[in-house]
């Protein structure tokens, strides 16, 4: 079963929930593999204690970049006029391509009268499988600077995670989606089984959650709500529940213990002593198990 954790905006506690959920399911329900689908800023493995062992690493080549042959370039600047991504500047009376901005669309190559521009394949990033210090296997993508953050690399992360789960005999794949509702998030939700939307009591978080929920409904995903930092505004937290109309799995309080766990890279799920945050997390996870396993 594939469970996606999404939020609609950054900073709501999505990775916090995904990391601890991975540990909970791995320890108590037949195992879990974690997938970090935020390939621009992958940090799930850090929340799980950091890398213990890199199991595999492979390159992803799905980007393209334009290159200029200056022996053919006449300096007509037609390429500059047609570029929609501000990836071409003028330097010493010649066009120069800024690779980090180039999307490889090929418009400059088509318009160039002297055929001085070619579009060539470029390294997008890497797919890694690591074992974290907490014992959870994590599949993650890591983009090169300027690499295309399309849904393809997120899809590859999910596929690798599902294959690994099958090889290790793990029952669950926990996906930590990117914030927002862009292409990587759509790719995270497509074909998944369950969605957990994490919301904090702010208007921006509520709006982001609404947008994620619209996408989830298009995929007919079973969706549930988790209120994080609810006690920052209990009144607004109640409004969030009313506006989204989802089953609420639980309410997690704001606590500096969470900041400390991130700083020390020690997941709260592995803490020896009980705390109100750990208790709230376990209530969320037990409610989720009841929903998905009856």
Q: What is the pLDDT of residue 106?
A: 96
Domain count, the chain: 2
Is there a single domain that holds both residue 176 and residue 143? yes
Instruction: Name residue, tokens 């690779």.
Output: 99
Q: What is the pLDDT of residue 145?
A: 77
Separation CA 212–CA 141 (nearest Å): 22
Is there a single domain that holds both residue 72 and residue 156? no
Is there a single domain that holds both residue 35 and residue 177? yes
Query: Which class for 32: exposed (0-12), middle (13-18), buried (19 or more C-beta within 10 A)?
Result: buried
Q: What is the pLDDT of residue 149?
A: 61
Is there a single domain that holds both residue 117 and residue 152? no
Q: What is the pLDDT of residue 272?
A: 72
Enter the pTM of the model.
0.87
Residue 98 is part of a domain; what is its CATH number? 3.30.70.20
Is there a single domain that holds both residue 181 and residue 39? yes
Is there a single domain that holds both residue 81 and residue 151? no
Q: What is the pLDDT of residue 261?
A: 84
Query: Which class for 47: exposed (0-12), middle (13-18), buried (19 or more C-beta within 10 A)?
Result: buried
Q: What is the pLDDT of residue 62?
A: 82
Is there a single domain that holds both residue 196 and residue 113? no
Is there a single domain that holds both residue 73 and residue 143? no
Domain boundary among 122, 145, 165: 122
C-beta of residue 154 within 8 angstroms of C-beta of residue 39: yes
| Assigned domain for 128 exists | no
C-beta of residue 126 within 8 angstroms of C-beta of residue 60: yes
C-beta of residue 198 within 8 angstroms of C-beta of residue 3: no
Q: What is the pLDDT of residue 240?
A: 94
Residue 282 is part of a domain; what is its CATH number? 3.40.50.300
Q: What is the pLDDT of residue 275?
A: 86
| Assigned domain for 252 exists | yes
Query: What residue numbers bound the domain in which 94 lies?
Result: 63-122
Phi first, then psi, for residue 129 (nearest 5°) are -120, 125
Is there a single domain that holds both residue 100 and residue 206? no
Q: What is the mean pLDDT of each run of 10 residues along the chain (294 residues)?
A: 93 93 90 94 93 93 92 96 96 94 94 97 92 96 76 91 96 94 90 96 95 94 96 93 94 89 86 84 93 81
Is there a single domain that holds both residue 51 and residue 70? no
Q: What is the pLDDT of residue 249?
A: 96
């Amino acid at each position: 079963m594939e469970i996606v954790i999404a939020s609609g905006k950054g900073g709501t506690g999505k990775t916090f929930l995904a990391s601890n959920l991975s540990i909970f399911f791995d320890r108590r329900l037949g195992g879990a593999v974690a997938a970090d689908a935020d390939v621009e800023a992958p940090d799930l493995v850090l929340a799980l204690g950091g890398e213990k062992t890199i199991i595999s690493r492979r390159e992803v080549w799905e980007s393209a970049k334009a290159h200029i042959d200056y022996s053919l370039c006449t300096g007509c600047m037609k390429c500059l006029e047609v570029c929609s991504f501000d990836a071409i500047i003028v330097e010493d009376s010649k066009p120069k391509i800024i690779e980090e901005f180039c999307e490889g669309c090929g418009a400059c190559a088509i318009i160039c009268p002297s055929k001085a521009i070619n579009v060539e394949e470029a390294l997008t990033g890497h797919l890694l499988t690591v074992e974290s210090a907490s014992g959870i296997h994590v599949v993650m993508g890591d983009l090169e600077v300027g690499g295309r953050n399309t849904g393809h690399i997120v899809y590859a992360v999910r596929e690798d995670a599902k294959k690994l789960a099958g090889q290790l005999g793990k029952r669950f794949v926990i996906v930590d989606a990117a914030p927002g509702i862009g292409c990587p998030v759509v790719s995270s939700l497509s074909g998944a089984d369950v969605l957990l939307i994490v919301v904090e009591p702010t208007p921006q978080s509520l709006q982001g959650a609404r947008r994620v929920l619209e996408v989830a409904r298009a995929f007919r995903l079973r969706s549930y709500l988790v209120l994080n930092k609810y006690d920052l505004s209990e009144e607004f937290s109640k409004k969030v529940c009313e506006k989204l109309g989802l089953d609420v799995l639980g309410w997690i309080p704001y606590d500096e213990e969470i900041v400390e766990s991130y700083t020390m890279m020690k997941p709260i799920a592995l803490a020896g002593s009980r705390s109100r945050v750990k208790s709230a997390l376990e209530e969320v996870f037990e409610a989720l198990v009841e929903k998905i396993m009856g």
